[in-house]
Structure formats: C-alpha cells, structure tokens
Amino acid sequence: MSGYSIIEYFGGSNDGKCGYCKQTGNYNSHGFWAHSMNVDDYQNLIDRNWRRSGQYCYVPNNKNTCCPMYTIKCDAMSFKLSRSHKKVLKKVNRFLRDGSKEKSRTKNQDIQSGISDEPTPSMEHTSLDVKELSSIAKSKESTEKVKPRTTSEMSIDDGTSHSTLKYNTLKSDVAQKSLRPTKKKFIRLERKIAKLAAKGLTLADVKRVNKSKQKTLEDFLAEEPTNGKHKLQVKLVRSTEGATDSILDLFQSYQMKIHNDPLEKNSRRSYERFLVNSPLQLRKDDNSPPDGYGSFHYQYYMDGELIAVGVIDILPLCISSVYFYYNPDYSFLSLGTYASLREIALVRQLSKSCPQLKHYYLGFYIPTCPKMRYKSNVKPSYLLCPEVFTWHLLDENLTKEIDSVKYLKINKTETDKEAVTNDDLLNVMVLADRTAMKYKDYKKVSSLNWLKKMMKSKRKGSDDSQEIMEYASKVGKHLSQSMLIFRC
C-alpha cells in the first residue's frame, strides 16, 4: 500500500473541550486517524478546512461548533512587511548585535551601534516630507487661531541651499508649548535638507529613491549580525529528529509558563504524539525542495542553545504551520512573530526551485478568539469558505462581515464542486483484507461478508453506507476516490 493514504474514520463528535473558549460539549468536529498520508492528499485536505494534530486529522463542523474556524493562508510571494513586523526584525538584529533588550533606543544608543538618527536617501522612510510639513503647519494655525502665514513666513528650500524655517511667528508661550514635539521635527527636517543639498538632492529625490528601494523581508534577515554579541542559527530537520531530552525540556517549559499546563500533562509520549509523529510520507525527488516534502522542525539556536522550534509541514503548494514553542526567557524578542516571518521567508526561498509552492498556511483563523487576531495582520491573506472551499481576500469588508455573525458562509453564490452523490459512493476506495478496492466491489465480495457482519455488530447495527457517505462528503469526491478508508 506504499503511496496510498490509509485512514480510519471516527465520525463526528461533540463531547470534547474546546481549546479556544474552554467550553465542554459545544465543540463539534469530524475526524479520522491517518495511518499514512501522502503529501498531495494532505494538501487537498487542508484546502477543505482539515487540519492535523499528530496523526489525528479533524474538520470543525462550523455550523454547530462553539468557535467556527476558517483556514487562513498568506500569499508569501506578495507578502508585505508591516511596521510592527519591521520593529520585531530590528529588535532581533539589535539584540544579536549588542545584546540590547530594551524596547526603545536613545539617540546615543543608535549612534554607538552605528545607526544614524538622521535619515539618508538610502533609508526606507523619511521622517517628514513636504506634504506632512504643510499638514502640520495648517493644523497648528487652526489650533492657535492666528492668521494664515504666507509662504515667505514658512518656506522650504528646493534643496540647492539650506532650508529656512520661520519660527518667529510662533513666539507666544502657548504656541511654544504646543509646538515642542513639532519643532523637533522641523529641526530634524532642516538638518536633513541641508545634508541633501550638499549632495545636490532634494526631498523629492529621497521619496523617489525610497519608493523604489523598499526593504524586503530578505533584506532584514540578511542584516542579521554574524559577529555581534549573540549568534542565531536556524536549522531545518525532519520531525522524527525532534524528540531529544533538551527539546522535550524546552516544550515542557513553554507549556507550563505560557499555557499554565501541569508537567504531567506534557509527558514525552503526549509530546511525541502531538508534534513528532506525523502520517505524512516523506517525498524527495527532482521536483521537490532539497529536503523533500513532509513534516519538519525549524529549530532556532541562540549561541548554540536551542531556544525555539517551529513545527511545519512542507507540502506541494505551501508551508503549513503546525505549532511553535520557545524558551519563555526570550519572550522579549517576540519570537512567535519572528518565526512566522522566517517561515514566510522559507516559502519564498523554496519557491525558487518549486514555483508552485508559494503560500504560507497559518492554521485556523478564529474570530471568537482574540489571540488569533494577529493572523489577519499577515497580508495579503485569504480565508477559505468552509462550505464551497473557495478563497477570499481577508480585507476590512470581510473582517466586518465575519465579525457580525456567529458563522459565515463566505461564498454565498456557488456550491461545492467536490460534492458527493449516491453514484459517487460506489467508487469510494476502501482497504479490506489488505486489498484496495472500490466500495461497490467491497460490497459484492462474498468472502468479505463475515467482515461486514462483524463491523455492523461493532457499530451496533449502523448502516455502513451511511458512514461511507458521511466520510466522502467531508473529504470530497476526489479524495474519497484516492485515499483508502480502513474497513477491517
């Protein structure tokens, strides 16, 4: 049965405890145990709102469950860094360079570390441009209720000589007090314009250069110091290598300090079932990434010490994030955000040799769980409609719509193209007596009648065809005819 996905269907359940709202009895899902799973089948499964936890695969019944879950993915090739992402990257680089753990820096610290407080044409952002200056001037004039100043009273040079900023009209005590923060910006702007003028440049030149040379994620990662106070190493290994004593200690420390779990809840056995064991078959060929497709651990070492692990699945079309844990002593580095950026960068790296691999799956987006809101800040991102299984841009309009109801069928105009009919039921693939066959053949083989009777007795008279139909409708027509559902 090499290459086949072999699963054992468990049906629906609503007696579990929800991991998000912590309620018992309101969580509703369907699941199966994957004895073996090829990466193509799992890619198709997560594109139908399924997820795995170890070898157990599940899909939430969003119409009835307490916390509806929508699969979310980011287009890694079009990913744009937000301001908060840049702050995290700079924070990590600063720590690697000089060991600084402070949330903010003084001017002296910037100078000592080789970073000028004065923007230059090659820097990503200017501190203030002409439009902003004009806006500030207008707002202050309105606030202070003085007559409008003329252009000659507040003029900016075109860059060929020093700029002239007139503060003489703002000499009142009230005006001086209200303009202190703004005056600093004016002084900074004046200094910058003078510096640009010496090079024959203007603010317009800076803006044009900055627009064409926005720093990418790769630019920030390339700036990580290699000879600073600390050294960070990132290593990709197969998940089967992720069960050493030091890794287990790290996981237990994270679960206890971050999630308040008791030690006994996180035994080696439970850890391995959750994050080490995987049903995914390793596939390595000429068309795969260098390390192949399958389940991996992305390990982070600080000065040779393991400080974090990202559990990921590398699939034909994406990298799927499974879990992330870290040493709580390094919480100040915002490692969760940093790791997600690293994984997006890995997608972009692998896409060079595997062009179809271009998305980053962040798991489930759960509107009712505040801790999951951060996923919407990874842009551009798309939500999967849990009924039609089409992708939709997670923009402001969709966010408002999904927040206004308990559950939303995102695509209201189409139907599931993989819907299963009664005729399709006969072509569902099953595994019985170590033989792969269609369900219609399984029903006809007289030598297996005793197996069917035995299974019916175990299920207390349940109709086998109803279970097969339920399973097929959850995985879709294509997967029901490629995966093998275990019947003995």
* Token representation of residue 276: 């080490």
The amino acid present at 321, given as its one-letter code, is S
Contacts of 334 (CB under 8 A, 6+ apart): 88, 91
Q: What is the CATH number of domain 74-85+222-384?
A: 3.40.630
What's the sign of the alpha-carbon dihedral 63, 69, 75, 79? positive
* Token representation of residue 400: 């408002």
For 323-340, the pLDDT digits (tens) are 999 999 999 999 999 999
The amino acid present at 434, given as its one-letter code, is R
Q: Taking the complete model, does pTM exceed 0.85, yes or no?
A: no
Q: Give the domain ranges of the chain.
A: 6-68+418-486, 74-85+222-384, 125-212
The conformation of residue 62, written as its DSSP 8-state character, comes to T
For 334-393, the pLDDT digits (tens) are 999 999 999 999 999 999 999 999 999 999 999 988 888 889 999 999 999 999 999 999
pLDDT of residue 210: 58
pLDDT of residue 463: 62
Question: In terms of DSSP bridges, do strands 435-438 and 305-314 run parallel, antiparallel, or are they unpaired?
Answer: unpaired
pLDDT of residue 13: 82
DSSP per-residue codes, 350-400:
HTTT-TT--EEEEEEE-TT-GGGGGGGGSSSEEEEPTTT--EEE--HHHHH
Instruction: Please name every residue paired with 302 in a beta bridge, in sequence order, or none if there are none.
Output: 232, 305
CA gap 371, 365 in Å, rounded: 10
Intervals of the chain under pLDDT 50? 104-179, 446, 459-462
CA gap 63, 408 in Å, rounded: 9
For 64-105, the pLDDT digits (tens) are 999 999 999 999 999 999 999 999 999 999 999 999 986 543
pLDDT of residue 70: 97
48: nearest Cα among 272, 361, 426: 361
Q: Is residue 118 within 8 Å of residue 192, measured between CB atoms?
A: yes
CA gap 345, 217 in Å, rounded: 7
pLDDT of residue 171: 40
Q: Is residue 192 within 8 Å of residue 119, measured between CB atoms?
A: yes
Q: Is residue 182 within 8 Å of residue 133, measured between CB atoms?
A: no
100 burial level (CB within 10 Å; 0-12, 13-18, 19+): middle
Q: Is residue 37 within 8 Å of residue 281, measured between CB atoms?
A: yes
